[in-house]
A and B are shown apart, each in its own frame.
Chain A
Amino acid sequence: MTVKETAMTGSEILVACEKVSTEAEVTGIKRSYRSMEYSPESCIPGSGKRTGWGLRMVRNTKLGVAGEWGMIDPFRLVDKVIGSCRYGSEAVFSFPENSPEFDSPPEGDELKQMTHEQVRNYLDQLQEEVQKIHPLAALSARIKWGGNSIFILNSRGLSGSYEKTTSHSTFSVSLPSDNGLIQSVYTLNTAGSLPVKDQVIDMLMLPLQQGDIKSAGTSGKKNIVLSPVAFSLLLQAVRAGVSGKLLAEGASPLAGMEGRQVVGSKLTIRDLPGLNSGAANAPFDSEGVPTRDKTLFENGIFTGFIHDLESAAVCRTESTGSSGRNLGEHSKPVCTNLAVDPSVSGSVNTLDETGSGILVTSILSAGGSNAASGSFVFDCGRVFVFRRGEIQGYRDGCVLYGNAYDALSKTAAVGSRQYRAGTDLLPFISIEGLSVR
């Protein structure tokens, strides 16, 4: 289906809504992908296509939403949204009117043209690199890559579309050791090209370092270095906290903190929907509002919330173009490509600057954490003890706990290189005096 054909179907759905709604909005997604399942035992190429439609409507002042993937019947879709409006929440905002021309993100030609053969070679090379480091290590991976066409149309005249090429990769390596099996999993999303190999190797092999077993150690405050993968989980609190929805509900711990120092002055945290290599890039959000890159924390000072139309209306402000949602679901403000600025000097992994402490490369479980309040309880798998910047050995597990904002306010050092973790772009981070048990 071309963008033009998509627009026609979208228009048909809008026409079907004319007499039964005050306002209506149609979103469409077309995905066409290739995939590769890779393991020591097999290598299975795949492909697929999916088309989906979402419809949001205001009827009798109530907001309703529904969606369909695959076989689309406009009238059935409208009927479902009418049903959803009956028990929907009160609509407190209007859909946007026609917007200026959107700049479509540049096409990821390298990724778009990538064949199964090329991806298999890429994975074979990665497997060779892995085995150079650990001859017994076995790489498994799934890479899914392809094009996405996104389309939006509403009854107030807004119309927009864009295309982008992204990849979603999960790599895992397992390694038998004297002390049991060690496994490392690394998941990341990119746009335009496959993940950079040396970054994948760095993140994947980091948790597999060998060394002497250290005793469990005592509970108390310790210096902690978080890898980008572990840091990404700590930032869940920031993602929730900066959301205008949480502010509108009166539950954000950042309420009233704008312009104040909230996290360490070494931290500048940005939301970058304009980042071309970021898989979450988009010229407009899921409500058709143009996106823009935003600094959320400038040298630790909180600069403001992100909003979609609803949270902006409740908080009497403007949408920041931060609406995100799955097809057929309600909008909420979301971060896109969350990035933390690397330091201009210093080491990649901050171990030298930190001196002694514990390096956490992955979080096994975050059960009991509450992203809304910022409290966290992270059970870390294997962690590494370091002294004078050198890894001395590992210990089997520890629990980190506390409040994410409090932890981030104790940032002692930030690494000099960014790595991808999911859609985030993050360096290593060193935190002073985090509670460990």
Chain B
Amino acid sequence: MQKYRELAEKLLAGSEADFAELHIEQTAKTTVAQAGLNHTNSGPVEQFTGTARVLVENKWGIHEFSSPDQMQNALSLASSLAMHSRPYLNPFPILPPAIRDTYSDDSNGVPLSDVSLREKTFLCRHYCDLLGASLTRGSVKVTYDELLRDKVIVNSSGTSVREVENLGSIKAQAVLPGDFAASEQFAVRGSFDLFRGREKHIERMSRNLLTRAKTTGIASGTYRVILDPELTGILIHEAFGHLVEADFLENNPAVAHMLRTGSAVGSECVNIIDDSLLMNHPGSMKWDDEGTPGARTKLVSSGRIVSWLHTMETAAKFDAVPTGNARISEHGKPPEARMTCTYMEPGTTSLEKLKLRLNNGLYLKGFMGGATDMDRFSIAVQEAWVVRNGTIHKPGTPVVISGKVTDVLGSILDTGDDLQLTGSLSGCSRRGGNAIAVTYGGPHVLISEMQVR
């Protein structure tokens, strides 16, 4: 990639456009899956892709290409496409700093790419056997996904950054007759070590599933609940994070006004961060997809809005500091303001004390799927445990929690003293676009009212 980067630098040094940018990437994707006794592996599927983006006389044009020798032509095509564009009425984007730098995950433990396909295959079989041994009925599956990415962003204002990423995840899934399902996922950036020695997690997952198969139904209604760190993270991501992506707010002035800086969106104990520099997590980025350095951005402080998530365009429009959240979900598409590693900050209360404060209610754990339509959120919960007098009483059937985005953060009564982050390589898709890697998390939280079905 180094020689392509140098070529891109040379081409852009002579650019006459108001702004021009080349984003080139080499990726390799591998999947290994073990479903019961059936094994499949796919790939690696290698890909070279690039996007040229040009701003000429306040008009954008964009062109995707698939070979380094097309870079010059791609810049010309993007320039001529800009002529068909509508004038860009916003202020000139806040460009990333003129820096030349490289970051590689290779310095961070045993890189995924150094581990043989044999070991990855073995690990999937091993965990699948382990899961299958304790769950004699139903179906089990273990999948390993890997994405190796070498990304270069060069622009006409002197930014030239290169980031080499190693992203991987292992997902174990089990379904018992009666559709009792469980899944557990570990996702990392950098080292393969996290995937080894997960036997105890797998055993705990199967034990839990067997216990939950003897559940009692939970009636629909409004409950006092504790969410585990994974659900807290998903709640923050779905119910709040998407709302402060500034390109969404740009098109929705009424919501932008509602979420203006200083407005109250949650109770006093709610503090929310988006930190793209947590470099061992899949959602992280040293630089975003426009070359703006990654950052730790406080979104909510003591329940009040502090910042939104920005691209270089939205930062200019809203007179804000760029937050390094520009991400592309596919080449040939302009970057969007998206979350990276988003979490709620922990408080000081232990889980045991949270349970005592809950007294009677539900302890909800694990995530099965979720979404938001920007007004309401919906999250399918893997485990629901009935709590009586501050102690776990019995397992309940899986439930769906939902609610109004604007209500839920205000119902948080207390935050736990733990912090756990969960990641996924394909964790977040917006408006029908491709999924991108994100990380989310938080502490256990106690919520006074949650709609449970």
Contact = CB atoms under 8 A, between A and B. Distances in A.
A170 B43 contact: no
Given A46-B63, A66-B43, A69-B49, A375 B179 contact: yes
A16 interface: no
Interface stretch (B33-41, B283-291, B435-443): B33-41
Contact of B332 (A35, A70, A251): A35
B449 to A, nearest CB: 14
Instruction: Summarize A's interface: helix, strand, loop or mixed.
Output: strand
Given A42-B86, A87-B117, A365 B44 contact: no
Nearest to B33: A330
B251 A138 contact: yes
Given A67-B43, A330-B40, A399-B400, A183 B373 contact: yes
Nearest to A366: B369
Interface residues of A, number: 79
Interface in A356-415: 362, 364-370, 372-373, 375, 377, 379, 381-382, 396-399
Given A66-B45, A69-B49, A373-B179, A183 B84 contact: no
A42 B220 contact: no
A71 B376 contact: no
Contacts of B86: 42-43, 120
Contacts of B175: 370, 372-373
A313 interface: no
B98 interface: no
Contact of A365 (B139, B255, B378, B406): B378
A46 B328 CA distance: 14
A368 B398 contact: yes
A397 B43 contact: no
A39 to B, nearest CB: 5
Interface stretch (A174-182, A337-345, A424-432): A174-182
B238 to A, nearest CB: 9
B85 interface: yes
Contacts of B118: 86-87
A381 B376 contact: yes
Contact of B375 (A44, A183, A437): A183
A40 interface: yes
A70 B48 contact: yes
Interface in B57-106: 60-68, 70, 77, 81-82, 84-86, 88-90
Sorted nearest first, the 8 A-B pairs with minimum C-beta distance are A367-B369, A367-B380, A48-B64, A70-B48, A328-B45, A379-B378, A176-B254, A69-B47
Interface of A: 33, 35, 37, 39-52, 64-71, 76, 80, 83-84, 86-89, 115-117, 120, 138, 140, 142, 144, 170, 172, 174, 176, 180-183, 185, 187, 219, 249, 251, 326-330, 362, 364-370, 372-373, 375, 377, 379, 381-382, 396-399, 437
Given A52-B47, A120-B86, A251-B139, 17 more contacts: A47-B64, A48-B332, A66-B45, A66-B46, A70-B48, A87-B117, A87-B118, A87-B121, A185-B431, A364-B372, A365-B380, A366-B380, A370-B181, A382-B373, A382-B376, A396-B376, A396-B404
13 contacts: A44-B85, A65-B43, A66-B46, A68-B46, A69-B46, A86-B118, A88-B41, A142-B433, A182-B373, A329-B45, A364-B371, A396-B404, A398-B453
Interface of B: 29, 31-32, 35-36, 38-49, 51, 60-68, 70, 77, 81-82, 84-86, 88-90, 117-118, 121, 139, 175, 179, 181, 220, 250-252, 254-255, 331-334, 367-380, 398, 400, 402, 404-406, 431-433, 451, 453
